Amino acid sequence: MQLTYNTQDYSSAGYTEPNDSGLTGFGRQVVNEMAKLEMVVDLSHVGPKTSEDAINHAPEGKPPCFSHVPPSGMKEHPRNNSDHLMKLIGSKGGFVGLSQFGPHMKKDNDSTINDYVDALDYVIGLIGEDLVGIGSDASEGHGMLSEFMAWCNKDKGYARQLTSWGS
C-alpha cells in the first residue's frame, strides 16, 4: 500500500511537496502497523526524505518497496528515485519495480524496450538481480488526457493541479 500519493498526508510527504518534511510520528505508527499486518509499504510516490525515513524506520525483515519507479541516475525527474535511495532499500532487502512510464524514462515518450532493459540493468547493477523487477505504472482504459488522470493529478483528487498530465 502506498504511504502517500504525491502530496502531504497525515503520515508522510509526497514527491510533489515543496518541503519534504519526512515521516511523521503517525507515519511511524502506520509503518509499524503495516509490518504487523504483513503489508508492504510502497514508497513510489513519496518524497526522498520521507522515503529514507520510512526505509530506516521499517522493522527488521519488513522492508518497504518502490513498486514502480525509474532511476534518476538515468534521467533526473522529481518522480524518479536516486541511486542512494535504491541502494538503501536494497540494503534492507526491499524490492524495486521499474516503471516504464514514458515521461519519466530516459528518452521520454520516445523510449523503447531497449531503454527499459537499460534501466533494469542499471538498477540491477546497484542492488542485484534478486531485488529488481517490472513495476507497471499504467491505468488501463484511462488515456493520459482522461477525466480519471486529471483527477489523479490534483491534490487529493480535487484541489490544486500537481502535474500537467491529464489537463
Residue 7 pLDDT grade (very low, low, confident, very high; cuts 50, 70, 90)? confident
Residue 101 pLDDT grade (very low, low, confident, very high; cuts 50, 70, 90)? confident
3-state secondary structure of 111: coil
Q: Per-residue pLDDT for 149 more than 80? A: no
User: 103 CB contacts (<8 Å, ≥6 apart)?
Assistant: 77, 109, 165
- Residue range 65-100, pLDDT digits in tens: 999 999 999 999 999 999 999 999 999 999 999 998
3-state secondary structure of 149: helix
- Residue range 37-57, pLDDT digits in tens: 999 999 999 999 999 999 999
3-state secondary structure of 20: coil
Q: Per-residue pLDDT for 12 more than 80? A: yes
CA distance 83 to 85: 6
CA dihedral 1, 68, 152, 106 (to 10 degrees): 160
CATH dotted code for 25-141: 3.20.20.140
Structural domain boundaries of the chain? 25-141, 142-167
Q: Per-residue pLDDT for 110 more than 80? A: yes
